[in-house]
Amino acid sequence: MSAVGSNLSADQERKLLSLFNHVRLHLLYKASVHGYTHQAFHNHCDTQGPTILVAYNRTGFIFGGYISQDYAASGRVINDDKAFLYSITNQREKPLRVFSADGHYGFTDASYGLNMGALWFLNNGAATVQQLPGNSYIFDAEQMHGNDMELTECEVYRVEQRLLEKPWRNIEWEGFSTKQCLMDYIQKYKPEVKSVVQARVLLIGPVGAGKSSFFNSINSVYKGHVTGQANSGSAGTSLTTQFRTYNVKSGPDRKALPLVLCDTMGLEEEPGSGLDIDDITSILKGHIQDRYQFNPSMPVQTDSSYFCKSPGLKDRIHCVVYVVDACMISLHSAKMVDKFHAIRRTANRLGVSQLVLLTKVDEACPEVREDLTNIYRSHYIEKMIREVSLCLGVSQSCVLPVKNYSRELELEMNTDILLLTAVFQMLRYSDNYFDDLDLAGDQEL
Ligand SMILES: Nc1nc2c(ncn2[C@@H]2O[C@H](COP(=O)(O)OP(=O)(O)OP(=O)(O)O)[C@@H](O)[C@H]2O)c(=O)[nH]1
Ligand SMILES: [Mg+2]
């Protein structure tokens, strides 16, 4: 909703939404704020696509019209077979809905307010509705508005589809065969450099973004049930305080995958708290070893027993993954964004490939929570991917949405497919790093 507040109660909104499939409402115009005038109405409502007008009266009815075409003050009769008049009251659970009698007429798009034949809203620049019974829409006036034509408020909302007609990124949701193909690819993956047997992927992100949960989720997929080796949960500050390099074991012989997931302490805005930028540089270069205890007020010292003085190529980070909570993107402060940029500059300088993992997509979008295969049809997730790519300065193809396991006990096929697709991309991006190496240099490592 915009800054101007809606008058709809939760129950009225629920009933209004029940007239549609998977939509959300965006308030465009509110008569008590913008004025009961034609100009104000058209200034706010023209060329907005599908809209619904919501009129309120003292008798407790909310009623109005939905049109799927633009307002444009064209003076023309608009055919719109999706248009309807409706009415909602506390007394009825189901809204009343009336389509035009001829099945074609929608509304007359004139320079005054909404004219739907039988009902004209804001026609005379006043808080009243005019009625021409039987004109295109046929209804009982008592049922429509309780014969109360005086309005206490009038709002217009843009009706936004939550789901795109077609997914914008292709993913095979074929179930077992897709999951097996991805698992096999990951298991058989070999870095293109002979001194390296495992791609080393670093997970970095704000506190609580889902870094440890991502490792747990991948580990769960290969274990066959949901498990939680890495501590995950919610605390004011980062729950993870050590640098951890996790192997994922697979198959009956529990052989380690050619992948190491490196978990870190969460980033925090304030200097001297959370993961330190100097520590990130040391991790990227391969200096910091498993179980190093981060100290936010001081970076790793070269005399620490966890400091590796001459790391090999296998110890360096081959792909950095920024882990970002899909519900928090617009809430990140400028300080946090600056931290991301500083890390990106270091990773760029060291030639490390970078990806973004967008977590908690189930919390961010109800349609995705209901069915994960809606992920690339969700308007909201698509918008978040655009926002995060702009904010971090990466291309949208680098952003991988996932749902981590958080409250489930058993695996779920589509969750696994999305998680494994993310790992697949991490290995491909690690290959970019190896491709870019000076192989003569690799001989020494
Ligand atoms: N619904 C949902 N919850 C998630 C998801 N990922 C993580 N969580 C929950 O978010 C909380 C934080 O997750 P963690 O994995 O501990 O986050 P972290 O990034 O490791 O956090 P720190 O180590 O504290 O920096 C936990 O309660 C998780 O269960 C997700 O994709 N969906
Ligand atoms: Mg953690």
State the Cα–Cα distance between residues 51 and 439, nearest whole angstrom: 60
pLDDT tens per residue, the chain (445 residues)?
A: 446 899 999 999 999 999 998 899 999 999 999 999 989 999 999 999 999 999 999 999 999 999 999 999 999 999 999 999 999 999 999 999 999 999 999 999 998 899 999 999 988 888 999 999 889 999 999 999 999 999 999 999 999 988 998 999 999 887 789 999 999 999 999 998 989 999 999 999 999 999 999 999 999 999 999 998 888 887 778 789 999 999 999 988 899 999 999 999 999 988 778 898 999 999 999 999 999 999 988 899 999 999 999 999 999 999 999 999 999 887 778 889 999 999 999 999 999 999 999 999 999 999 999 999 999 999 999 999 999 999 999 999 999 999 999 999 999 999 999 999 999 999 999 999 999 886 545 443 3
**Domain assignment of residue 169, yes or no:** no
Residue 408 contacts residue 226 (beta carbons within 8 Å): yes
**Domain assignment of residue 297, yes or no:** yes
Tell me how crowded residue 364 is: count the other CB atoms within 10 A of its CB. Answer: 21
In the chain, the number of structural domains is 2
**Domain assignment of residue 3, yes or no:** no
Answer positive or negative: Cα dihedral of 321, 396, 402, 160.
positive
Q: Domain check: are 157 and 182 in the same one? A: no
Tell me how crowded residue 357 is: count the other CB atoms within 10 A of its CB. Answer: 28
Long-range contacts of residues 181-185, Cβ cutoff 8 Å, at least 24 apart = 182/417, 182/420, 182/421, 182/423, 182/424, 183/221, 183/222, 183/250, 183/420, 185/424, 185/427
* pLDDT of 439: 55
**Domain assignment of residue 167, yes or no:** no
* pLDDT of 444: 37
Tell whether ligand 1 has an atom less than 6 A from the beta carbon of residue 208.
yes
Final residue of a structural domain among 161, 190, 208: 161
Q: Domain check: are 224 and 308 in the same one? A: yes
Q: State pLDDT tens for residues 308-357.
A: 999 999 999 999 999 999 998 877 788 899 999 999 999 999 999 999 99
Q: Domain check: are 222 and 93 in the same one? A: no
* pLDDT of 397: 97
- Structure token pair of residue 2: 């915009």
Q: Domain check: are 123 and 190 in the same one? A: no
Interval between CA 282 and ligand 2 midpoint (Å) = 19
Tell me how crowded residue 182 is: count the other CB atoms within 10 A of its CB. Answer: 20
Pocket test for ligand 1, best of 368, 375, 406 (most atoms within 8 A of CB): 406
State the Cα–Cα distance between residues 385 and 326, nearest whole angstrom: 8
Tell whether ligand 1 has an atom less than 6 A from the beta carbon of residue 211.
yes
Interval between CA 166 and ligand 2 midpoint (Å) = 35
Pocket test for ligand 1, best of 232, 407, 414 (most atoms within 8 A of CB): 232
Q: Domain check: are 329 and 367 in the same one? A: yes
Give the Å distances, CA to CA, from 74 to 42, 47, 115.
11, 11, 13
Burial class (CB in 10 A: 0-12, 13-18, 19+), 437: middle
Q: Domain check: are 281 and 345 in the same one? A: yes
- Structure token pair of residue 344: 């990106």
Pocket test for ligand 1, best of 202, 207, 212, 213 (most atoms within 8 A of CB): 213
State the Cα–Cα distance between residues 2 and 48, nearest whole angstrom: 14
State the Cα–Cα distance between residues 324 and 75, nearest whole angstrom: 49
Measuring from atom 29 of ligand 1, which residue has the nearest CA?
406
Measuring from atom 23 of ligand 1, which residue has the nearest CA?
240
Q: Domain check: are 151 and 195 in the same one? A: no
State the Cα–Cα distance between residues 203 and 263, nearest whole angstrom: 5
* pLDDT of 440: 45
Domain that holds residue 157: 10-161
Q: Domain check: are 288 and 353 in the same one? A: yes
Q: Domain check: are 133 and 280 in the same one? A: no
The atom of ligand 1 lying closest to the CA of 240 is: 23
Final residue of a structural domain among 161, 188, 207: 161
Tell the residue number behind the tokens 């407790």, with chain if given: 60
Q: Domain check: are 232 and 133 in the same one? A: no
Q: Domain check: are 52 and 190 in the same one? A: no
**Domain assignment of residue 170, yes or no:** no
Residue 261 contacts residue 213 (beta carbons within 8 Å): no
State the Cα–Cα distance between residues 414 and 172, nearest whole angstrom: 10
Measuring from atom 21 of ligand 1, which residue has the nearest CA?
208
Final residue of a structural domain among 161, 184, 207: 161
**Domain assignment of residue 187, yes or no:** yes
Give pTM, 2 decimals.
Answer: 0.81
**Domain assignment of residue 5, yes or no:** no
CATH number at residue 209: 3.40.50.300
Question: Among 27, 31, 13, which residue's Cα sits nearest to residue 159?
Answer: 27
Residue 246 contacts residue 434 (beta carbons within 8 Å): no
Q: Domain check: are 119 and 188 in the same one? A: no
**Domain assignment of residue 292, yes or no:** yes
